[in-house]
Amino acid sequence: MDPLAELKQTFFQECDELLGALEQKLQALDEGSSDPEDVNAAFRAIHSIKGGAGAFGCTELVGFAHVFEASLDHLRSGRVAIEDAPFTLFLRCSDAVADLVSAARNDEPATERPDLLAALEQVGQEPRAQAAPAVAAPAAATPAAALPATSPAPAADEAPPGLAALGNLLAMVEAKSTAAPAKANDDGWDDDEPVAARMPLASAAKPGRDVRLRIAPETDLFRRVIEPRVVLGSLPADDIVAIRCDLSKVPPLETLDVTDCWLRFDVDLRTELSVEELHGRFDFSLANEEFEIELSDATPAAEPAPVAAAPEPEVPTSVAADLSAILAKLGPAPDMAGQPDIQPAPVPVPAAAPAPVAEAVPAVRAAPRAPANDQAAARQRQAVSVRVDLDRIDKLMNLVGEIVITQSMLVECVRSLPYDVYAKTAEGILTLSRQTRELQDHVMAVRAQPVKAVFQRMPRLVRELAQTLGKEVRLVLEGENTEVDKTIIEELADPLTHMIRNSMDHGLETPDERVEAGKPREGTIRLIAEHRAGRIVISVTDDGRGIGRDRLLAKARSRGLVGADEKLAPEEIDQLIFAAGLSTAEAVSDISGRGVGMDVVRRNVESLGGRISVDSEPGRGCKFTLALPLTLAVLEGMVIRCGDDRYVIPIASVIETQHLASTPIEKLPFGQEVLRWRGEVTPLYRLGTVMGSTGTTNENIVIIAETERGNNVGIAVDEIVGQQQVVVKSLEANYGAVNGASAATILGDGLVALILDIDSMLRLAASGDRAPLSDLKMAG
Amino acid sequence: MKILAIDDTKTLLALLTLTLRNAGHEVAEAENGEDGLTKFEQFKPDLVITDLNMPVMDGIEFTRACRSRPLGQNTPIIVLTTENGAEIKAEGRRAGASAWMVKPFEPNTLLGLVARYQN
């Protein structure tokens, strides 16, 4: 990719971050934060987006961002109180900016938002409306027209020459142009006039009018590190007729502070630049008070150079000084050398004489640049931030996985060695395993990201849906900084979107219905992420009407998913929401309700070794819980044996282990075994029986494990073999789904072991007498 | 010429650096004013180009801080920003900024301005 395209990509990535920050800050402010730093951060975000957009020629984006920025500036400056600010509007605008960014990214035409611009324009306008009625002109549709009247923004800022800049940059990057920088068009952000179009010399024949500039800098000019030659150099060299230096203000040497500037300059110009344009030239360094522009009469100057001929009664103190001597003291000035007309006023210099100098300058400058270019490019490649393809990290991760396996094989091998050899080797192996672990942690850390990246997209979804559905919704985010592997992050967006849509569409009632039911008009959706049992658990909770079980069951029966006389527990009915082709929405809407949502979500989640479940309380609300592994790559596991088979239980699920013999076990009437663990009745499952292990089982150990819902279960196994990191190998990809297991691994001796999924195992155990529903679940 | 470029927007910073490096300048980057001061001491630039609106320490504060240090009293500081108000410019001037340039910058214009500070 060429550097510019790459930069542009980076810019868009950065935009995503900035948009996230913008939205987050606006949201915080909307919810009552009055922290000025939130305002500043929001302002900075839109400001940076605007800046970048300008550089890449995204004109629409710049236009919109500019108006938006101006509105936020009212808050920043205190012209509009934070409490009075229309954050709902700002949030919608931040959505619009996101749209513009994505349009620019995809090279699509941008949708204009005259409505939002007009609304933005009104921000901070009310107080002025009386004072200056003209300001409150009808809302204009174009960004430029919508500029707040208070902001003295020049034309350039309204319509940035973005495309021109882009074109120039392209030319520069591609051709690595070595041409001397434009010497005259220095401050020309409002001036795209090509230098070549100018006349080579200011002369009587030159079109334009005569202008006299009186430059009287403040004495602190030098302390601002501005040299007079820099000031003068900002004028078009070819327009300069004469420059005179006035030394009359310079104090006597004994009292002169050399850091003070006492120089005054008069510059005669013959130029086509307007007064405003001339202002623009100096604007970058001189304050308005520091220079004066006098238009001479339209009379064309008879002689261009010998200014001394012209009487100067208006500057009686003017001293014709040897400017080049002054300039020499101030330091060498290549640019000024190229200007033929700088001279001691009384001594006319032949116009031809300086010409060779002018040519020599760019030549000298160009020479060392060519080799420097390669070095510069090399340096650049180093310095630009390191972005790594996920693909490469994946390869690294895979390799680490292989090392983990090799290392556990080594451990097995070493065990069979004679003791003296073993003792020596063991130490090395121990170090190796520690280092492998560290390596793995570091690689994992590279891939870990907070779920914020996904969570941040949700407020917008909620806002838009709320508008479409005519509902009032508050979204509460918690645990945004919960970190999870990159691979998982990418898989989260889809199910989350579905879950939230479902809650918004089916769960929450309309404001009127809510009031009738005695609830606040505004519904609340909580999106919470947390780590639990070695998984990331994300829940979406709404305070809506809950699942309509009667309708759901009726529908399931009519579809033949549930037998006519089959009895289902309320919780089981709720789970039907994940069955294919079921939707109870009265009207099929664009948002959800086509019945192709939750079953697909569930399939996708399960293929990742995750699970989605729903808890509903009629009239009170509904909670979707999504549990996914933290990573799809490695797992810390307890290796156990049942009969001839070995299994791995994710260590994060294990609470404690104890001897079965010392544990009193009771049998419930329908055959379920339970044990008392820390005073709680805890169901006990015999793993060999549930999983159908081969060989004879002889259970000695109970492992107390935690399920995703936070319940405890006891799992009886024959033996604990050890604890180790295992590399997760997908069963679906290599073999086929196995109930009760989320994946498989290869142990040190090269044999395969199943990685148990406690929740799935419990379902398998329970499915023995509830075949129809479990079939449905598996199918769904 | 050794130029210190300060901008909190990574893209713009990269673009600025690219522009300057392609013109043969040696560039050090900083992401805010505070970072800029550190880099200033290490890199000892001939010229500084700084953004205005930045977290931690903004461009004005940076300029002020720079001017109060012996090393920073003779280094031109160009403010490169989207801000264009008279007030903020005056504040920049008071802080000791040498030049003011409005974003988005046109590469040749910027290089021209930079070249004028080149001895």
Question: Can you list the domains of chain B with their CATH numbers?
Answer: 2-116 (3.40.50.2300)
List CB contacts of B21: < 8 A, sequence separation 6 or more: A376, A377, A379, A380, B27
Please give the pLDDT value at position A33: 80
Q: How far apart are CA A626 and CA A135, in angstroms?
A: 53
Higher pLDDT, A307 or A752: A752
> Is residue B3 predicted with pLDDT exceeding 90?
yes
Q: Which of A406, A413, A411 is closest to A439 using CA atoms?
A: A406
> Taking the CB of residue A196, how many other CB atoms lie within 10 A of it?
7
Mean pLDDT of chain A: 71
Q: Using one digit for the tens of pLDDT, what is the confidence trace for A170-189?
A: 334 333 333 333 333 333 33
* A13's tokens: 């990535």
Chain A residues inside the 8 Å CB shell of B12: 48, 51-52, 55
Q: How far apart are CA B36 and CA B51, in angstroms?
A: 11
> Is residue A199 predicted with pLDDT exceeding 70?
no
From 3.40.50.10170, 3.30.420.40, 3.20.20.60, 3.30.565.10, which CATH number describes the A451-629 domain?
3.30.565.10
Higher pLDDT, A97 or B84: A97
Helix axes A36-55 and A162-175, enclosed angle (nearest 10) = 60
Closest CA in chain A for residue B93: A224
Please give the pLDDT value at position A406: 82
Higher pLDDT, A155 or A267: A267
Chain A residues inside the 8 Å CB shell of B117: 230
Q: Give the gap in angstroms from C-alpha A318 to the nearest C-alpha of chain B.
A: 27
Among B3, B4, B7, B9, the strongest candidate for a mutation testing the A interface, having the largest count of A CBs within 10 A, is: B9
Q: How far apart are CA A371 and CA A388, in angstroms?
A: 30
> Which amino acid is present at A649?
I
| Pick from A56-60, A174-178, A398-402, B31-35: least confident | A174-178
Backbone angles phi, psi at A704, to 5 degrees: -90, 120
Q: Which of A644, A726, A646 is closest to A402 using CA atoms?
A: A726
Please give the pLDDT value at position A169: 40
Please give the pLDDT value at position A447: 76
Closest CA in chain B for residue A62: B104
| CB A651 within 8 Å of CB A723 | yes
Chain B residues inside the 8 Å CB shell of A54: 82, 103-104
| CB A570 within 8 Å of CB A622 | no
CA angle A178, A179, A184 (to 5 degrees): 140
* CB half-sphere exposure, A79, CA atoms < 13 A: 16
Please classify residue A416 by burial: count the beta carbons closer than 10 Å to its beta carbon, then call 0-12 exposed, 13-18 middle and 19+ buried. Answer: exposed
Alpha helix ranges (H) inside A534-627: 549-558, 570-575, 598-607
Q: Using one digit for the tens of pLDDT, what is the confidence trace for B89-114?
A: 888 888 888 888 887 777 888 888 88
| CB pair distance less than 8 Å for B22 and A173 | yes
Which residue from A47, A331, A373 is facing B119, i.e. has the nearest CB?
A: A331
Length of chain A: 780
Please give the pLDDT value at position A176: 35
3-class DSSP assignment, residue A358: helix
Q: Using one digit for the tens of pLDDT, what is the confidence trace for A720-729?
A: 988 877 877 7
Which residue from B19, B99, B119 is facing A285, i.e. has the nearest CB?
A: B99
| CB A401 within 8 Å of CB A416 | no
Q: Give the gap in angstroms from C-alpha B34 to the nearest C-alpha of chain A.
A: 17
Q: Average the pLDDT over B34-48 and give the result.
A: 90
| CB pair distance less than 8 Å for B104 and A160 | yes
Q: How far apart are CA B56 and CA B60, in angstroms?
A: 12
* Local confidence band at A524 (pLDDT 50, 70, 90 cut-offs): very high
Q: Give the gap in angstroms from C-alpha A222 to the nearest C-alpha of chain B.
A: 8
Which residue from B29, B98, B102 is facing A225, i.e. has the nearest CB?
A: B98
Q: Give the gap in angstroms from C-alpha B41 to the nearest C-alpha of chain A.
A: 18
| CB pair distance less than 8 Å for A152 and B85 | yes
Q: Compute the Cα dihedral for A551, A554, A558, A563 and give only its sign.
A: positive
Q: Average the pLDDT over A487-494 and give the result.
A: 78
Q: Using one digit for the tens of pLDDT, what is the confidence trace for A455-469?
A: 888 888 888 888 888
Among B82, B89, B105, the strongest candidate for a mutation testing the A interface, having the largest count of A CBs within 10 A, is: B82
Please give the pLDDT value at position A353: 40
> Is residue A597 predicted with pLDDT exceeding 70?
no
| Pick from A112-121, A249-258, A293-302, B55-64: least confident | A293-302
Q: Give the gap in angstroms from C-alpha A583 to the nearest C-alpha of chain B.
A: 47
Chain B residues inside the 8 Å CB shell of A284: 99-101, 113
* Local confidence band at A716 (pLDDT 50, 70, 90 cut-offs): very high
**CA dist A754 → A126, A539, A641 (Å):** 69, 28, 11
Residue boundaries of the structural domains of chain A: 3-166, 195-348, 404-449, 451-629, 634-779
Please give the pLDDT value at position A581: 62
* A300's tokens: 């064309």
Please give the pLDDT value at position B48: 93
End-to-end Cα distance, chain A: 44
Please classify residue A379 by burial: count the beta carbons closer than 10 Å to its beta carbon, then call 0-12 exposed, 13-18 middle and 19+ buried. Answer: middle
CATH number of A634-779: 2.40.50.180
Helix (H) or strand (E) holding A362: helix A355-366
Chain B residues inside the 8 Å CB shell of A36: none
| CB pair distance less than 8 Å for A187 and B114 | no
DSSP B84-110: --HHHHHHHHHHT--EEEESSPPHHHH
3-class DSSP assignment, residue A535: strand
What is the percent of chain A with per-residue pLDDT over 90, rounded to a whole number?
Answer: 4
| CB pair distance less than 8 Å for A7 and B11 | yes
Closest CA in chain A for residue B28: A383
> Is residue A342 predicted with pLDDT exceeding 50?
no
Please classify residue A78 by burial: count the beta carbons closer than 10 Å to its beta carbon, then call 0-12 exposed, 13-18 middle and 19+ buried. Answer: exposed
The interface predicted TM-score (ipTM) is 0.72
* A288's tokens: 């308005």
| CB A210 within 8 Å of CB A268 | yes
Closest CA in chain A for residue B117: A230
Q: Please determine, looking at this structure, whether the domain spanning A3-166 carries the CATH number 1.20.58.1910.
A: no
Q: Which of A436, A429, A395 is closest to A410 using CA atoms?
A: A429
| CB pair distance less than 8 Å for A3 and B23 | no
Q: How far apart are CA A602 and CA A614, in angstroms?
A: 11
DSSP structural state of residue A378: H
Q: Give the gap in angstroms from C-alpha B29 to the nearest C-alpha of chain A.
A: 9
> Is residue A337 predicted with pLDDT exceeding 80?
no
Please give the pLDDT value at position B97: 87
Among A225, A290, A382, the strongest candidate for a mutation testing the B interface, having the largest count of B CBs within 10 A, is: A225
Chain A residues inside the 8 Å CB shell of B107: 165, 168-169, 172
| CB pair distance less than 8 Å for A224 and B98 | yes
Chain B residues inside the 8 Å CB shell of A168: 106-108
* Local confidence band at A398 (pLDDT 50, 70, 90 cut-offs): confident
| CB pair distance less than 8 Å for A10 and B23 | no
Higher pLDDT, A110 or B54: B54
| CB A185 within 8 Å of CB A284 | no
Q: Helix count (H) and strand count (E) of chain B?
A: 5, 5
Q: How far apart are CA A451 and CA A490, in angstroms?
A: 10
Q: Using one digit for the tens of pLDDT, what is the confidence trace for A362-389?
A: 333 333 333 444 444 444 444 445 677 7
Helix axes A419-447 and A390-415, enclosed angle (nearest 10) = 160
Please give the pLDDT value at position A593: 42
Chain B residues inside the 8 Å CB shell of A285: 98-100
Among B25, B48, B103, the strongest candidate for a mutation testing the A interface, having the largest count of A CBs within 10 A, is: B103
* A229's tokens: 């030659």
| CB pair distance less than 8 Å for A287 and B93 | yes
> Which amino acid is present at A147?
L
* B93's tokens: 């001037």
> Taking the CB of residue B52, how many other CB atoms lie within 10 A of it?
24
pTM over 0.90: no
Q: How far apart are CA A163 and CA A179, in angstroms?
A: 21
3-class DSSP assignment, residue A653: helix
Please give the pLDDT value at position A304: 42
* Local confidence band at A526 (pLDDT 50, 70, 90 cut-offs): very high
Q: Average the pLDDT over A541-567 and give the result.
A: 82
**CA dist A235 → A182, A231, A276 (Å):** 12, 8, 13
